[in-house]
């Protein structure tokens, strides 16, 4: 989130409009909204683009089925997109439709320029075509099939059909070397970086020219000077990112210069190839700069399958908002769906997030502070002239939080930024409990006021840092602290150097987050988690409750400090995690150990934690155990856990966030 650049241009993919949006479509859009808002609180001018992809055979066929013209068909869904976005407070600046006249004309201008300079030429193409995905499938990409059988699309797993047609080609092959140079010089172009490696390998294996027109369909943008051809959807759709900011219209040249290149382009993993190869090549041919970053997210899954309209397992965002609340679902999606990997959608997890994180950890903190100041006639809070050591430590942690959030946001790791904010909430709760202000008020009013002021300063920072995720609730909370949210402030700068000296006028408000009752059958959980019956777990060190009185007798064998010193214990941050296929116990985590680098660790904790709930968490590890292989996977460390008979296995995380790789001893 660098402040060197004053503008921030963020895009979502444009959605195929064959039905109303589902939770998966909301996820891409929500990430862009969260990104846009984080850059707003860093004082940047933001342009946030979303829209709909309305041409192509898939849409023409769906329209035909219901007896509508494709345009009438797509028109009928636009309102449902706009109303879901508005319900979820998606503050986009422009909603582009590929059927907009301005877009059509700009794409035609683009085609003509590339035809004139020889980057587009006419030829003919024979190949396997996947109609639902609007893309050609080669043998190399196909799911393996018997000799002579139709190839199968690697994305949707449907059989493709043969087509032979005259078509226009984009000279993609001519850009292979420039693309590889670009990737090499811009190693952070794609997040997460594992996707970059896939793209580089794909390009290295050889690029063929790209067919960008069709004669077999008519629902598309006509090719300039050759009406028999319409533009193949990706050459039409990808260009929305530049046509929306004025490409092709000389009168809007300043606008294009102001906003392009995009700073962040968000998309699901299924369409990364189009954005990371074709799109940069189109831009190179057009003489335009490359987008700064592509953020590629995983899928929301239901019972291990991608949530999608065609599979019939899509969850309706409107219903979720009605059942749980908009900000609660925004929080759940931002925090619990790890961007770097697929995540399972679970009603149970929504309820757990609302109850234990939003209502208990956060809502209660605000409520307790407000109740105490109201009860003790201290609603007008001023900062003390001198802060005590423990409050100064909280202040320092608060500054560290702001810097960490800034970094995580600029890396596109929003789920980790939110987890980091929660570490700080836990720290403020610990500070509050440790000082017991409800007792202190009886004998030391000055100290009581200091604790309340420290809580209010912390809550202000938390409120602003969570505003991008839960804008409505955080605005309400900030009003209740007497410091209403100011859209024009560069909060990130202010908070990073702020010493606490604000005044607050606290009002008590209705409960910010209402606990959720179990409302839904968990439609996705196939193997129930039974913590109580957890007995023994492979490769898990169990920390027993100590019994101080009987220690001499019970302890079988003592070790000397020199034995203990042999252990290298560290705090690691879990950045990605997945189940190990074929094992019902093991999960495989990629753990960040700071200076020690990233390591892969296998742990037998699948029954206690699902992978998506581990991502973003910090835990305790032994890092100098001899590496070993488990079910064919290397494990380069051991996660330590506590075992409680009722609560089951529990991660051992530090109370406050610490630097990845911090030593423990």
Q: Peptide bond before 625: cis, by omega within 30 degrees of 0?
A: no
Q: In the bound complex, what is the minimum distance in angstroms from residue 60's beta carbon to ligand MSP? A: 14
Residues 206-245 that bind ligand MSP (CB under 6 A): 237-238
Cα separation of the two ends of the chain: 35
Q: Indicate the residue among 237 and 576 with the shorter CB distance to ligand MSP.
A: 237
Structure-block tokens of residue 212 = 């960008």
Mask for 284-313, x = binds ligand MSP (CB under 6 A): ---------------xx-----xxx-----
Q: Peptide bond before 192: cis, by omega within 30 degrees of 0?
A: yes
Q: Indicate the residue among 290 and 400 with the shorter CB distance to ligand MSP.
A: 290
Structure-block tokens of residue 656 = 């406050």
Residues 374-413 that bind ligand MSP (CB under 6 A): none
Q: Which residue(s) pair with 638 in the sheet?
A: 622
In terms of Cβ atoms closer than 10 Å to its own Cβ (0-12, 13-18, 19+), residue 509 is: middle
Q: Indicate the residue among 22 and 606 with the shorter CB distance to ligand MSP.
A: 22
Asked if 315 interacts with ligand MSP (CB under 6 A), we say no
In terms of Cβ atoms closer than 10 Å to its own Cβ (0-12, 13-18, 19+), residue 518 is: exposed
Q: Compute the distance between CA of residue 88 and CA of residue 334 in angstroms, rounded to an integer.
A: 13
Asked if 155 interacts with ligand MSP (CB under 6 A), we say no
In the list 1, 10, 24, 370, the residue contacting ligand MSP (rule: CB under 6 A) is 24
Q: Compute the distance between CA of residue 408 and CA of residue 228 in angstroms, rounded to an integer.
A: 49
Q: Indicate the residue among 25 and 635 with the shorter CB distance to ligand MSP.
A: 25
19-27, 123-131, 191-199, 474-482 -> range binding ligand MSP (CB under 6 A): 19-27
Residues 44-73 that bind ligand MSP (CB under 6 A): 53
In the list 8, 10, 20, 27, the residue contacting ligand MSP (rule: CB under 6 A) is 27
How many other CB atoms sit within 10 Å of the CB of residue 441?
A: 19
Q: In the bound complex, what is the minimum distance in angstroms from residue 665's beta carbon to ligand MSP? A: 42
25-33, 121-129, 490-498, 603-611 -> range binding ligand MSP (CB under 6 A): 25-33
In the list 8, 9, 15, 125, the residue contacting ligand MSP (rule: CB under 6 A) is 15
Q: In the bound complex, what is the minimum distance in angstroms from residue 66's beta carbon to ligand MSP? A: 18
Asked if 610 interacts with ligand MSP (CB under 6 A), we say no
In the list 42, 167, 267, 276, the residue contacting ligand MSP (rule: CB under 6 A) is 267
Phi-psi region at 325: left, alpha or beta (left = phi > 0; alpha = psi -120 to 50): left
Q: Compute the distance between CA of residue 266 and CA of residue 191 in angstroms, rounded to an integer.
A: 10
Q: In the bound complex, what is the minimum distance in angstroms from residue 121's beta carbon to ligand MSP? A: 23
What letter does residue 252 receive in the DSSP assignment? G
314, 307 contact by CB (below 8 A): yes
Residue 599: half-sphere exposure toward Cβ, Cα within 13 Å: 27
Q: In the bound complex, what is the minimum distance in angstroms from residue 561's beta carbon to ligand MSP? A: 51
Count residues binding ligand MSP (CB under 6 A).
20
Q: Indicate the residue among 349 and 404 with the shorter CB distance to ligand MSP.
A: 349
In the list 155, 270, 323, 411, the residue contacting ligand MSP (rule: CB under 6 A) is 270
Residue nearest to ligand MSP (CB): 268
Q: Checking DSSP bridges between strand 294-297 and strand 264-268, what pairing results, if any?
A: parallel
In the list 8, 25, 90, 428, the residue contacting ligand MSP (rule: CB under 6 A) is 25
Q: Compute the distance between CA of residue 139 and CA of residue 153 in angstroms, rounded to an integer.
A: 10
60-68, 203-211, 263-271, 542-550 -> range binding ligand MSP (CB under 6 A): 263-271
10-18, 561-569, 627-635, 638-646 -> range binding ligand MSP (CB under 6 A): 10-18
Q: Indicate the residue among 133 and 619 with the shorter CB distance to ligand MSP.
A: 133
13-21, 391-399, 507-515, 603-611 -> range binding ligand MSP (CB under 6 A): 13-21
SS3 label, residue 319: helix
Q: Read out DSSP for 228-247?
A: EEEE-HHHHHTTHHHHTTTT
Asked if 611 interacts with ligand MSP (CB under 6 A), we say no
The full 3-state SS of 406-465, as one line of letters, equals HHHHHCCCHHHHHHHHHHHHHHHHHHHHHHCHHHHCCCCHHHHHHHHHHHHHHHHHHHHH
Q: Compute the distance between CA of residue 346 and CA of residue 524 in angstroms, rounded to an integer.
A: 6
Asked if 262 interacts with ligand MSP (CB under 6 A), we say no
Q: Compute the distance between CA of residue 155 and CA of residue 133 in angstroms, rounded to an integer.
A: 8
Residues that bind ligand MSP (CB under 6 A): 13-16, 24-25, 27-28, 53, 237-238, 267-268, 270-271, 299-300, 306-308
């Amino acid at each position: 989130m660098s402040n060197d650049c004053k503008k921030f241009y963020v895009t979502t993919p444009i959605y195929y409009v064959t039905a109303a949006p589902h939770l998966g479509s909301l996820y891409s859009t929500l990430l862009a909204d969260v990104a846009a808002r984080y850059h707003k609180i860093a004082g940047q001018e933001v342009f946030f683009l979303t829209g709909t992809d309305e041409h192509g055979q898939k849409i023409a066929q769906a329209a035909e089925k219901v007896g509508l013209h494709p345009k009438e068909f797509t028109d009928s869904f636009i309102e449902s997109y706009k109303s879901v976005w508005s319900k979820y407070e998606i503050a986009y600046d422009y909603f582009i439709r590929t059927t907009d006249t301005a877009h059509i004309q700009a794409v035609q201008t683009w085609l003509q320029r590339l035809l004139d300079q020889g980057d587009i030429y006419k030829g003919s193409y024979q190949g396997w075509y996947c109609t639902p995905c609007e893309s050609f499938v080669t043998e190399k990409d196909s799911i393996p099939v018997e000799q002579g059988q139709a190839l199968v699309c690697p994305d949707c797993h449907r059989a493709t059909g043969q087509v032979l047609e005259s078509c226009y080609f984009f000279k993609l092959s001519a850009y292979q070397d420039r693309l590889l140079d670009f990737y090499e010089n811009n190693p952070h172009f794609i997040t997460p970086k594992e996707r970059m490696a896939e793209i580089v390998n794909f390009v290295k294996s050889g690029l063929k020219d790209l067919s960008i027109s069709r004669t077999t369909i008519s629902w598309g943008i006509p090719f300039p000077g050759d009406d028999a051809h319409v533009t193949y959807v990706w050459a039409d759709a990808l260009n929305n990112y530049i046509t929306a900011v004025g490409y092709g219209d000389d009168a809007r040249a300043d606008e294009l210069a102001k906003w392009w290149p995009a700073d962040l382009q968000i998309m699901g993993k299924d369409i990364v190839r189009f954005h990371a190869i074709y799109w940069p090549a189109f831009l190179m041919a057009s003489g335009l700069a490359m987008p700064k970053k592509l953020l590629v997210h995983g899928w929301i899954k239901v019972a291990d399958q991608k949530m999608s309209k065609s599979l019939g397992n899509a969850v309706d965002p409107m219903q979720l908002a009605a059942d749980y609340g908009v900000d609660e679902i925004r929080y759940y999606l931002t925090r619990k769906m790890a961007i770097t990997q697929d995540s399972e959608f679970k009603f149970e997890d929504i309820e757990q997030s609302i109850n234990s994180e939003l209502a208990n950890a956060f809502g209660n903190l605000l409520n307790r502070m407000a109740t105490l100041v109201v009860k003790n006639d201290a609603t007008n809070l001023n900062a003390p002239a001198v802060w005590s050591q423990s409050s100064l430590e909280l202040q320092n942690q608060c500054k560290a939080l702001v810097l960490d959030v800034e970094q995580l946001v600029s890396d596109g790791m929003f789920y980790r930024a939110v987890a980091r904010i929660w570490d700080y909430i836990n720290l403020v709760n610990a500070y509050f409990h440790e000082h017991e202000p409800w007792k202190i008020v009886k004998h030391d009013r000055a100290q009581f006021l200091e604790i309340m002021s420290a809580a209010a300063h912390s809550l202000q920072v938390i409120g602003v840092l969570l505003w991008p995720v839960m804008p409505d609730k955080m605005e309400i909370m900030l009003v209740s602290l007497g410091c209403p949210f100011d859209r024009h402030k560069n909060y990130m700068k202010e908070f990073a150097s702020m010493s606490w000296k604000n005044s607050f006028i606290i009002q008590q408000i209705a409960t910010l987050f209402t606990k959720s009752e179990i409302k839904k059958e968990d439609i996705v959980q196939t193997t129930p988690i039974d913590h109580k019956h957890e007995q023994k777990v492979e490769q898990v060190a169990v920390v027993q409750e100590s019994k101080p009185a009987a220690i001499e007798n019970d302890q079988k064998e003592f070790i000397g400090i020199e034995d203990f010193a042999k252990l290298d214990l560290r705090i690691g941050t879990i950045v990605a995690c997945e189940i190990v296929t074929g094992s019902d116990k093991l999960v495989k985590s990629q753990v960040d150990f700071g200076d020690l680098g990233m390591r892969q660790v296998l742990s037998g904790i699948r029954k206690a934690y699902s992978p998506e709930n581990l991502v973003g968490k910090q835990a305790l590890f032994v890092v100098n155990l001899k590496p070993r292989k488990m079910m064919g996977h290397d494990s380069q460390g051991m996660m330590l856990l506590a075992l409680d008979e009722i609560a089951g296995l529990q991660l051992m995380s530090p109370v406050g966030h610490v630097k990845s790789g911090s030593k423990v001893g």
